[in-house]
Structure 1
Amino acid sequence: MITINNLTVKYGEQVALNIKSSITFKKGDRIGIIGSNGAGKSTLVKAILGLINYQGKIHIEIKPEQIAAHMQENNYVETMKIKYVMEAILNTKIKKNRKLQELIEFFNFERCLNKKFSNLSGGQKQRFTIIMVLMQDSPLVFFDEVTSGLDFETRQQLMSKITQWYEEKDTTICIVSHYYEELDNIAEKILILEKGNVVDFGYKDDLFRKYCGNSIIIIANTESNMAIIKEFKKIEAPEHLIAISCDDDDEEMDIMKLLVINDVNFKRSNNDIEIMSINAKASFKRGLEGGVRNECKAI
């Protein structure tokens, strides 16, 4: 579907994206694109869509008009009722288009049709744009921070709807998000970016095992908890948490028994995207530092 080779994007003298290795998005892939602010996530999407200049090669097997995209900022006419904006852009009448009716009902958007765009809430504006994207029934879809700025419940509802809509379809979906929990149910592959570089790309389960082990046990980061699990292997985690890596089921059971005996609350996971990405980026950074040290020794 998409193949990227030696892609570089610059804003003035600043390198915003620098992808050296070849990356391929296949038909039917469900890809989550993650990274810190300024990692190059939106820049990558804009380059693929041809919205910015770049150096290198991006080969797309379909025509540009066959791609649908939900970008971070979407502006529409604010002086007309939203139903007329919808009909004008889609060149169809709601009353005559069964698919459009189904989408409006699917996203509980009926009561918004007579409102102006400026009077819609953040969640309603997102629903409107998502309906416009899904109506295109494109083989390749990009969602760039589709739930940014929305409360947790609204984010969950929207992602659940999107996941449900594409459940039986072979659409290639690329979702840019900094909300890791949004990608749990829809993303099968993860592309991790950091400061314009590719940290890693692959199936979510493979990346978790690569950087976290068979599973992890997560507990609060306290001195007492640290003392209890001091003999076990710990990996990188958010500051308020401790993540213990388990190589197999026996080790996992030993850790959980110890925590139960000591009355410590814990969470077990074999797919935590946030902790996986933290460790992937830490490994990538160590590799860069090791490369710098080796070059210095060579000199």
Structure 2
Amino acid sequence: MLLTIHNLQVRYGSQLALQIDCPISIHEGERIGIIGSNGAGKTTLVKSILGLTSYKGSIRTNLKPEQIAAHMQSNHYAATMPVKTIMETILDTNIRKNRELQELISYFEFEKCLHKRYSHLSGGQKQRFTIIMVMLQNAPLTFYDEVTSGLDFETRQKLMEKLVNWYQNKSNTLCIVSHYYEELEMLAEKILILDQGKVIAFGEKKELFRKYCGRSVFITDSTKQNQELLREYKKLKSPEHLLAIACPDLETEHKISELLLQENVNFKRSDNDIEIMSTNAKAAYYEREGSAYEDQIMQ
């Protein structure tokens, strides 16, 4: 076990920013996705673990500070300095003499950027620059906080594919904070859902999906025709423009798929849709808490 969090509480003035009552444990080699809307407490959690903010409670780990790496949302460097100089200064190394660093620079196709000034890098290049320096640490535990924020879809996809491929078959433990569900579907095996500073759910991605959605889910456009066609089947919480139909078993799945195909309806079948899963986890949580679902999560 790398790290355990228990009875954690973080306040900013009178505002409760994060509260974790039940223990959360992070183990070696896990890939954990941390999701939640703005203000949910995602970055606060990372900063607490890194010792960058005050908290009450317990964060226990056998790791030394230098064994934990982090890519934070905001990274500031000397804008007018060449990237090569910044990299060598921060890492206290010489690129020509560091084979591991050369490998990372080549892997991220960053060679042509080394002699540019930092201010002349594109958004994607700036992210790759910081990722290279984080990865070079080869830390047992690494946090990536909104690593693709502000990038266009194609750049995000390429960057995530690089991350997925690099860490494949490696024992590093990763915690990825993101509000892009498709990124977590690519990389995360466990999911921590936060909302308004509270833990909504935490566990294996597949187990959470089965708990809150069923065996699988069919997703299609929320038209009057589709609503009527699927009226007898259980509907899950979903974005307003979509219908999400729960399939508790294989028989139901066959019936719905045959019906949709017969009526020539476009649909997607999923057994790991994190957006639908997290939306219904929140609905279940606030129903247990006696709070109005729409007031809490449909914002």
Q: Which residue of 2 aligns with 1:176?
A: 177
Cα distance in 1 for partners of 2:240, 2:147 equals: 27
Q: CA deviation at 1:36?
A: 1.0
One-letter code aligned to 1:61: N
Question: C-alpha distance in 2, partners of 1:35/1:134?
Answer: 25
Distance in 1 of aligned mates of 2:81 and 2:119 = 10
| Identical-pair percentage | 60
Give me the whole-angstrom Cα distance separating, in 1, the residues matched to 2:80 and 2:179. Answer: 33
TM-superposed deviation, 1:49: 0.3
What letter is aligned with 1:151? D
Whole-angstrom distance in 2 between the partners of 1:84 and 1:52 = 30
**What is aligned with 1:167?**
168
CA distance in 2, matches of 1:35, 1:235: 19
1:32-71 alignment runs, 5 A limit = 32-71=33-72
Offset from partner CA, 1:145-194 (integer Å, 9 cap, x none) = 00000001111111111111111211110000000000112100000001
1:95-143 Cα offsets, whole Å, 9 max, x none, are 1111111100100101100111111110000000000000011000000
Partners of 1:231 and 1:57 lie apart in 2 by: 48
Q: Does 1:236 align with 2:247?
A: no
The one-character-per-residue Cα deviations of 1:76-107 (angstroms, maximum 9, x if unpaired) are 11221100111111111111111111100100
Q: Which runs of 4+ in 1 moved over 4 A?
A: none
TM-score where L is the length of structure 2 = 0.96
| Pair 1:275-2:270 in alignment | no
2:246 is paired with a residue whose SS is strand
Measured after TM superposition, the shift of residue 250 of structure 1 is: 1.3
Q: Which residue of 1 aligns with 2:108?
A: 107
**Which ranges in structure 1 are unaligned for 5 or more consecutive residues?**
291-299
Determine the C-alpha separation between the residues in 2 that align with 1:93 and 1:9: 40
Deviation digits for residues 39-65 of structure 1, max 9, x if unmatched? Answer: 000000000000000000100120011
Equivalent residues in 2 for 1:69-84, closer than 5 Å: 69-84=70-85
- How many Å separate the matches in 1 of 2:142 and 2:215? 32
The number of equivalent residue pairs is 291
Match of 2:216 in 1: 215
In structure 1, the residue corresponding to 2:176 is in which secondary structure? strand
Tell me the equivalent position of 1:126.
127
Give the distance between the partners of 1:247 and 1:198, measured in 2 at CA: 26
- RMSD (CA atoms): 1.0
SS of aligned partner of 1:169: coil
State the partner residue of 1:137: 138
Q: Which residue of structure 1 aligns with residue 15 of structure 2?
A: 14
Residues 256-295 of structure 1 mapped to structure 2, 5 A cutoff: 256-289=257-290
Letter in 1 for 2:24: I
What is the aligned partner in structure 2 of residue 189 from structure 1? 190
- Which secondary structure state, in structure 1, belongs to the residue aligned with residue 8 of structure 2? strand
2:294 is aligned to none
Describe the SS at the equivalent of 1:28: coil
CA distance in 2, matches of 1:111, 1:271: 38
Quick one: distance in 2 between partners of 1:144 and 1:274? 18
Distance across 2 between alignment mates of 1:173 and 1:30: 5
Letter of the 2:227 counterpart = M
In structure 2, how many angstroms separate the alpha carbons of the residues matched to 1:95 and 1:129? 19
What SS does structure 2 have at the residue aligned with 1:115?
coil
Distance 2:264 2:79 in 1: 57
| Distance across 2 between alignment mates of 1:224 and 1:80 | 60
